[in-house]
Amino acid sequence: MTSPTGWTWRLLDASGAELDPADLDVEVPVEDAQAEAESWLGEHWRTLLERGAASATLLRGDAVVYGPMGLSAS
């Protein structure tokens, strides 16, 4: 569960189903600021893609801020 005001990512597979980050052997942090969360994704998107995530949705608490957005570079 995310904190009420923390920023984090929901990871999705190619069909749009939510993935458990533990199944991808990653820990998605809950950040204090949107820019920190976006920076984390910018640093880790390739690894997430390699491990089966196809897209990500930015959340603030439980509210969708934007997404899903594809992780593929193409």
> Taking the model in full, what pTM does it have?
0.90
pLDDT value of position 9:
98
17 HSE (CA, 13 A, CB side): 4
Q: Could you read off the pLDDT of 6-29 as tens digits, one per residue?
A: 999 999 999 999 999 999 999 999
Q: Provide the residue ranges of all domains of the chain, joining segments of one domain with +.
A: 7-68
What pLDDT was estimated at residue 66? 97
In the sheet that holds 55-60, the strands lie side by side as 7-12, 55-60, 63-70
pLDDT band for position 2 (cuts 50, 70, 90): very low
Beta carbons of 40 and 7 less than 8 angstroms apart: no
Do 13 and 52 form a contact (C-beta atoms < 8 A)? yes
